[in-house]
């Protein structure tokens, strides 16, 4: 999923954009550190760097060069890149930073413009949609998540022989994606799906979203430049629309609705009352289905790699699982008592986060740490860099000791906080614990010889994830009793 290299046409158009920026130079000087405007050259260079290095990579570059509060430009728009804990917390907790930013045309191509909740810049619509997500991701959904994760993971583990490649290797990422998609479907949609086919479409959709998010407006003047991304996004949208129709039909034919109502049915009922459009319903369900395979599967992959690289941590985690759970079925109360596992998860999220920044936009004028921020300013919260601060005992190393004492939220924000925090943060912890427990009770998962997180290819753009396809991502499942 590596974004394509800039074509000659794109580079030429970027140079033209630079000339336009020269004409728009206002000569104003910012009190924040960062590149010079320099008659429009500064904005052009910073924008090209974001397109070239990816959002995460460029954010780390500028924070590393200029400090933890930096002013740059994206698409000619003033953008702040922040990794200072006090400033990050200020932005997270205030509703005046509930806006998002990104290419309007790019978001339209993937169906996110003023729809769903992930990149919905229409605050009123985002608030309305968010209510349905909160309901689905709490209450019964939260209570049932652990049991469904354990059941689905066990079923896929029993079929490992069907996915084993050469030399006993397993494409662990696709395995995790199928598990999480199966659980998401059973929690939020409840219709028959082909997990492998849908996982492939989700990967292509993510690639399109990542590629188009920051593209300049003129890129969308030439359909041949973005057609394949639009088509890939449309392919998933069509697939989800078909699933919604299956759900709609099931609701119409159901004698009782007690066992068929869930997130999808709530949205369908809202549409029947004129509160949502067909496109709104499809996009909300699409975003609910892609969230897990997009981020949680990669997060779990990183965790399994870290366990393999730190056998002492793995032993502590497995010993706790054996002591508190043993051979019995997983209960929600058991997951809450797995303190070593929770510490391991937190340290993994700190050391190797998948979503390590958040994109916001100021909806009002404000002041951040003494610096004036005008309405409409774009903001990138570089949370991954912030979480490697000096508060931790070994900030640049993976150590469970980093969470021996309580960590204030200002130094650790894996799911964000405030009005636009991750709506699925509680259910995500339950699901990660249940899946890890189910796998680790039965298997020790090891990468092939010589492979580690440090030497696999990774992309640092919209999220931090392995480059695919890459045979180096395959892992070996060793039955734990045999391993011992």
Please check whether residue 2 lies inside any domain of the structure: no
Separation CA 484–CA 140 (nearest Å):
38
Please check whether residue 1 lies inside any domain of the structure: no
Please check whether residue 156 lies inside any domain of the structure: yes
Separation CA 303–CA 346 (nearest Å):
10
Q: What pLDDT is stored for residue 331 in this prediction?
A: 87
Separation CA 277–CA 280 (nearest Å):
5
Q: What pLDDT is stored for residue 258 in this prediction?
A: 67
Please check whether residue 37 lies inside any domain of the structure: yes
> Which residue positions form the known binding site for heme?
422
210 phi, psi to nearest 5 deg: -65, -40
Instruction: Name the domain count of the chain.
Output: 1
Prior bond of 469 cis (ω within 30°): yes
Helical segments of 104-254, H only: 104-109, 123-136, 140-158, 172-188, 195-212, 223-253
Q: What pLDDT is stored for residue 260 in this prediction?
A: 61
Separation CA 110–CA 459 (nearest Å):
20
Structure tokens at 292: 């897990």
Which one, of 302, 300, 280, 303, lies nearest residue 292 by Cα?
300
Please check whether residue 13 lies inside any domain of the structure: yes
User: Contact, 253 vs 37, CB < 8 A?
Assistant: no
Q: What is the CATH number of the domain that holds 240?
A: 1.10.630.10
How is residue 168 annotated by DSSP?
G
Helix, strand, or coil (residue 363): coil
User: Contact, 426 vs 137, CB < 8 A?
Assistant: yes
pTM as predicted: 0.91
Please check whether residue 3 lies inside any domain of the structure: no
Integer CA distances (angstroms), 59 to 63, 90, 192, 283, 413, in order: 6, 19, 41, 29, 17
> Which residue positions form the known binding site?
422
Structure tokens at 34: 């960062």
Cβ-based neighbours of 462, under 8 Å, separated by 6 or more:
54, 55, 56, 206, 209, 210, 213
| C-alpha atoms less than 13 angstroms from C-alpha of 401 in its C-beta half-sphere | 7
Which one, of 45, 100, 67, lies nearest residue 362 by Cα?
100
Please check whether residue 328 lies inside any domain of the structure: yes
Domain span including residue 214? 8-483
Separation CA 68–CA 380 (nearest Å):
11
Separation CA 420–CA 123 (nearest Å):
10
Tens place of pLDDT per residue across the chain (484 aa) = 444 445 556 666 666 665 555 445 444 456 789 999 998 899 999 999 999 999 999 999 999 999 999 999 999 999 999 999 999 999 999 999 999 999 999 999 999 999 999 999 999 999 999 999 999 999 888 889 999 999 999 999 998 877 776 677 888 999 999 999 999 999 999 999 999 999 999 999 999 999 999 999 999 999 999 999 999 999 999 999 999 999 999 999 887 776 667 999 999 999 999 999 999 999 999 999 998 888 999 999 999 999 999 999 999 999 999 999 998 888 888 999 999 999 999 999 999 999 999 999 999 999 999 999 999 999 999 999 999 998 999 999 999 999 999 999 999 999 999 999 999 999 999 999 999 999 999 999 999 877 889 888 888 899 999 887 766 678 999 998 755 5
Cβ-based neighbours of 200, under 8 Å, separated by 6 or more:
none
Handedness of CA 64, 410, 125, 275 (dihedral sign): positive
Residue with tokens 């910073």: 46
């Amino acid at each position: 999923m590596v974004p394509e290299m800039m074509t000659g046409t794109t580079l030429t158009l970027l140079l033209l954009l630079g000339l336009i920026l020269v004409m728009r130079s206002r000569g104003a000087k910012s009190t924040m550190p960062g590149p010079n405007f320099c008659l429009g050259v500064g904005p052009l260079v910073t924008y090209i760097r974001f397109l070239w290095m990816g959002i995460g990579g460029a954010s780390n570059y500028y924070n590393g060069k200029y400090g933890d509060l930096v002013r740059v430009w994206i698409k000619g728009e003033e953008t702040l890149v922040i990794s200072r804990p006090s400033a990050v917390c200020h932005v997270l907790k205030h509703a005046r930073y509930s806006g998002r930013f990104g290419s309007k045309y790019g978001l339209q191509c993937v169906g996110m413009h003023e729809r769903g909740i992930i990149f919905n810049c229409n605050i009123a619509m985002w608030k309305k949609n968010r209510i349905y997500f909160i309901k689905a991701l709490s209450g019964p959904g939260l209570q049932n998540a652990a049991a469904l994760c354990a059941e689905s993971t066990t079923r896929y583990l029993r079929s490992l022989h069907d996915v084993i490649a050469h030399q006993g290797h397993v494409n662990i990422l696709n395995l995790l994606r199928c598990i999480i998609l199966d659980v998401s479907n059973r929690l939020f949609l409840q219709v028959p799906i082909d997990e492998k086919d849908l996982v492939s479409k989700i990967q292509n959709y993510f690639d399109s979203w990542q590629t188009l998010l920051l593209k300049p407006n003129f890129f969308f003047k030439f359909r041949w430049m973005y057609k394949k991304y639009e088509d890939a996004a449309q392919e998933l949208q069509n697939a989800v629309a078909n699933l919604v129709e299956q759900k709609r039909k099931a609701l119409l034919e159901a004698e009782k609705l007690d066992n068929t109502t869930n997130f999808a049915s709530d949205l369908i009922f809202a549409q029947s009352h004129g509160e949502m459009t067909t496109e709104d319903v499809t996009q909300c369900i699409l975003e609910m289905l892609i969230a897990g395979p997009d981020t949680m599967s990669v997060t779990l992959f990183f965790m399994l790699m870290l366990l393999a690289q730190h056998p002492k941590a793995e032993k502590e985690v497995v010993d706790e699982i054996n002591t508190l759970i043993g051979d019995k079925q997983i209960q929600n109360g058991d997951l809450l008592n797995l303190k070593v596992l929770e510490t391991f998860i937190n340290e993994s999220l700190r050391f190797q986060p998948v979503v390590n920044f958040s994109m916001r936009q100021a909806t009002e004028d404000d002041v951040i740490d003494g610096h004036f921020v005008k309405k409409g300013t774009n903001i990138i919260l570089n949370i991954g860099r912030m979480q490697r601060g000096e508060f931790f005992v070994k900030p640049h190393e993976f150590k469970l000791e980093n969470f021996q004492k309580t960590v204030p939220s200002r130094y650790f924000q894996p799911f964000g906080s405030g009005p636009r925090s991750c709506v699925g943060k509680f259910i995500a912890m339950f699901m990660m614990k249940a899946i890890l427990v189910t796998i680790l009770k039965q298997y020790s998962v090891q990468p092939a010889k010589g492979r580690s997180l440090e030497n696999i290819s990774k992309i640092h753009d919209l999220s931090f994830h392995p480059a695919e396809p890459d045979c180096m991502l395959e892992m070996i499942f060793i039955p734990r009793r045999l391993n011992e």
